[in-house]
Amino acid sequence: MAEVIVITSGKGGVGKTTTTANLGAGLAMNGQRVLLIDTDIGLRNLDVVLGLENRIVYDLVDVVEGTCRARQAMIKDKRYNSLYLLPAAQTRDKTAVSPEQMNKLCCDIDSEFDYILIDCPAGIEQGFKNAISAAKRAIVVTTPEVSAVRDADRIIGLLEANDLKNPKLLINRLRIDMVKRGDMMTIDDIVDILAVELIGVVPDDEKIVVSTNRGEPVVADKRSSSGQAYGNVTKRIMGEDIPLLDLDEQDSFFNKLKRIFGLKVT
């Protein structure tokens, strides 16, 4: 039976889709059978982040409306054999799917996968309700900014009200140099405010943009700090006890590089 996990945040642009793509690829790299469902109907993006935009024939709405079978709409990933994507429809809106339909869909394909990751749209309306309806676990993505943390708090409240207890927190785009200057909230500040368990911290990394440009999840790049961080989150999802990435060490490495090139070290 598949474990259904929703990736949500409330606020847009904090990295839900990037996180879904990377965790999916990470789980597949660990031999898990993974299905990613994009529920952002009308604003689909998981397909381009994964580089599968040219292979879409059917979508989520086609499946729930019975135009095709779920299997026909699933796109097999280019790199990982056990990773599949069920894309959202682009020409419809969130009302094209109901929470009951999402629930039924996940029950139907439950036995074929180890993990089903659901990429939730921003907001707390219909799209959010659809995305969380079938989920048993939730990962809340936030960035170290007041707006994102505030929305994360609201989402955590809504998840708990919908019987999704103990959501896990993923802090994205942390900049250790800014944290050191006292210009960005620390991991502890955010965890303390939201009072939920942390599942990982992903540093702000240019490699994310570069890999998204190519349509390849950064998790495959073990030299990148963000790739390592996503790799660690993947293992934690699978139940392994992995310590947090030492971002401090990486910072000093970059600072060393900066010193070599005579740049100002912050």
Partner 1 sequence: MLFDELFKIFSRSKSTKDVARDRLKLVLVHDRAGVSPQFLDKVKNEIIKVISDYMDIDKRELDIQLTSTKNDSGDGVVPALVANIPIRKVKNIKQFDKIPNANAKEKIKSG
The site for partner 1 (CB under 8 A) is made up of 145-146, 149-150, 153-154, 157, 179, 181-186, 189, 193, 195
CB 226 within 8 A of CB 208: yes
Considering beta carbons, is residue 67 or 147 the nearer one to partner 1? 147
Considering beta carbons, is residue 13 or 157 the nearer one to partner 1? 157
Helix boundaries (H) for the chain: 16-29, 46-50, 60-64, 70-73, 99-109, 126-133, 146-161, 176-181, 187-194, 206-214, 225-237, 247-260
Cβ at position 195, least distance to partner 1 in Å: 6
Cβ at position 158, least distance to partner 1 in Å: 12
Considering beta carbons, is residue 1 or 161 the nearer one to partner 1? 161
CA distances from 173 to 95, 150, 154, 201, 204 (A): 32, 16, 20, 8, 4
- Give the whole-angstrom CA distance, residue 73 versus residue 100: 19
- Give the whole-angstrom CA distance, residue 3 versus residue 35: 10
Cβ at position 8, least distance to partner 1 in Å: 17
Signed CA dihedral, 139, 145, 150, 151: sign only: negative
Considering beta carbons, is residue 182 or 243 the nearer one to partner 1? 182
Cβ at position 179, least distance to partner 1 in Å: 7
DSSP letter, residue 218 = G
Considering beta carbons, is residue 116 or 196 the nearer one to partner 1? 196
Cβ at position 136, least distance to partner 1 in Å: 23
